[in-house]
A and B are shown apart, each in its own frame.
Chain A
Amino acid sequence: MTRFVLALQWSGRHSALDPAGPQAARIDSLWQFLWIVSAVVLAAVVAALLYASLHRRRHAEPEQAGAGTRTVVIGAVGLTVVILLVFLGLNFGTGRALTIPPDGAVQVRITGKQWWWEVTYPGNPPSYQVTTANELHVPVGEPVVVELGSSDVIHSFWPPDLVGKRDLIPGETASIWFQADRAGEYRAQCAEYCGHQHAKMALLIVAESRDSFDRWLARQRDSARTPADSLARRGQEVFLASSCVMCHTIRGTPAGSRIGPDLTHLASRRTIAAGTLPNTRGHLAGWILDPQRIKPGSRMPANPLAAGDLEALLAYLETLQ
């Protein structure tokens, strides 16, 4: 059954039925238990109905409910109450187990924006803080505590392979923790309607070994270098002279606005525009020229750039490893 449902999914790494960590596994086993019990109850009810309709009494009988009927009714009500209480207890236990994070967890902060995710790893000293977008890296087998906030409307963080949903509410900080036991890429999705592009608001979670996680984090701390190549250098000038600086940050350059995603390490990301497109040169060009075709209503305007400027700009963006 599980396998069958999985096969219907468009991508193997966005499924609540294929848990990749202890939290999702607990939710999954609770769900399996609930549905098996519910299926048995449904089968019993249908069987009783069938029995009753096939064995109709031919004549109205004067004497009402006998002792047998009463036993059946009391038994069924009692059983229902017991089953519901068991469900309640199991739900409560699962909820408790998912709430309290163990000590020494990796700390991350995620801010929901219309319609992308800002991801921040606090640093010690603070200059080690790392800011990226739409991609969350975590070490395999270690607990991760995610602090959730929003800068506009309510969003909801939902990585079904790892844990359940948690809402991001403006002005409040929520938190959720999970642990990925299998290396791989998992897709999280905004699960609270937040405007036109709610559907195209995904976050990629990359679970990797502690070593490669540390290497990734260290690389994300660096500022962008001025490119050596002359075309890319011209691209940097295009970036700094056009609208991009009104909204984007590239650390190491004067561009420091935080309306849109931080682009300092854009080329290291697998997707652009919150999991909407793979990060390839062609998609990047299409996105920069007219984001409104790809995500209508998105908060990045069209940029009618001359062909030469666009080519230089793309060459520059590709150096942002």
Chain B
Amino acid sequence: MTALLAASAACERETRRFHDEAQPPAAGGVRLTALEPGPATSSRALRHPYEDNAWAVSEGKRLYSQFNCAGCHAHGGGGMGPPLMDALWRYGAEPENVFASIAGGRPNGMPAFGTKVGATQIWQLAAYVRSMSGLVPKDVAPGRTDHMQVKAGEQAAPEAVPRNAAPEPPAP
């Protein structure tokens, strides 16, 4: 009986949501800076659509190299773009912040992908970016790399408690 129960519990598989049309985060849903007017909002209330889905995070991982994020951020360690596997965030670590960074770009050289990449794929990328510093559940983060291993899988990333980093001053 116990074995049966255990077996049926194990049957609950994650579903891959191919037909999703994810929406961008609602405007005003999260305050991106302390300078915005209005009451403080808690972004915790807004759930990231994919952070419980291993397949979506692995799609994000594939897109991260296919869309050449690695060209500027390397495999998370940073290059001409800031490291994404550490605790420091210039523009916030919440899913909505990361979405905004990717979709809208950032002034010191982060290109805006929003007109070229749909919301579903941006959420997948955002989930993957967060997995690099251990911000998504361990059972969802990718365990290994399909290509040459340059670092341990995201599953092994320790959770880095996000801290704010001041953006670099724009070049004069």
Binding site for B on A (CB under 8 A): 152, 241-243, 245-247, 259, 292-293, 296-297, 301-304
Query: Given contacts A246-B116, A301-B118, is CB(A296)–CB(B66) below 8 Å?
Result: no
Q: Verify if B146 is at the interface (C-beta below 8 Å from A).
A: yes
The answer to whether residues A293 and B19 also contact, given A243-B117, A243-B118 and a CB cut-off of 8 A, is yes
Given contacts A245-B116, A246-B116, A296-B19, contact A301 B121 (CB under 8 A): yes
A-B contact count (CB 8 A): 28
Q: Which residues from B are CB-within-8-Å of A241?
A: 115
Tell me how far the C-beta of A150 lies from the nearest C-beta in chain B, rounded to whole angstroms. Answer: 11
CB contacts (< 8 Å) of B67 on chain A: these are: 246
**In chain B, what residue has the closest Cβ to A292?**
B18
A297 and B118: CB pair below 8 A?
Answer: no
Do residues B66 and A259 form an inter-chain contact, with CB atoms below 8 A? yes
B139 contact set on A, CB distance < 8 A? none
Q: How far is the CA of A174 from the CA of B120 in the complex (A)?
A: 37
Contact of A302 among B21, B66, B116 (CB under 8 A): B21
What DSSP secondary structure best describes chain B's contact surface? loop
- Is there an interface contact between B18 and A242, defined as CB atoms closer than 8 Å? no
Query: Does B44 belong to the interface (CB within 8 Å)?
Result: no
In the bound complex, residues from chain B placing their C-beta under 8 Å from that of A304 are: 21
Q: Which 3 pairs show the lowest CB-CB distances between chains A and B?
A: A296-B18, A292-B18, A259-B66
| Residues of chain A within 8 A of B146, CB atoms compared | 152
Extra inter-chain contacts (10) besides given A242-B116, A243-B116, CB under 8 Å: A152-B146, A241-B115, A243-B117, A246-B116, A259-B66, A292-B19, A296-B18, A301-B118, A301-B120, A302-B21
- B16 interface residue (CB < 8 Å to A): yes
Q: How far is the CB of A87 from chain B (nearest CB, A)?
A: 40
In the assembled complex, the CB of A111 is this many whole angstroms from the nearest CB of chain B, namely 15
In Å, the complex CA distance between A303 and B118 comes to 8
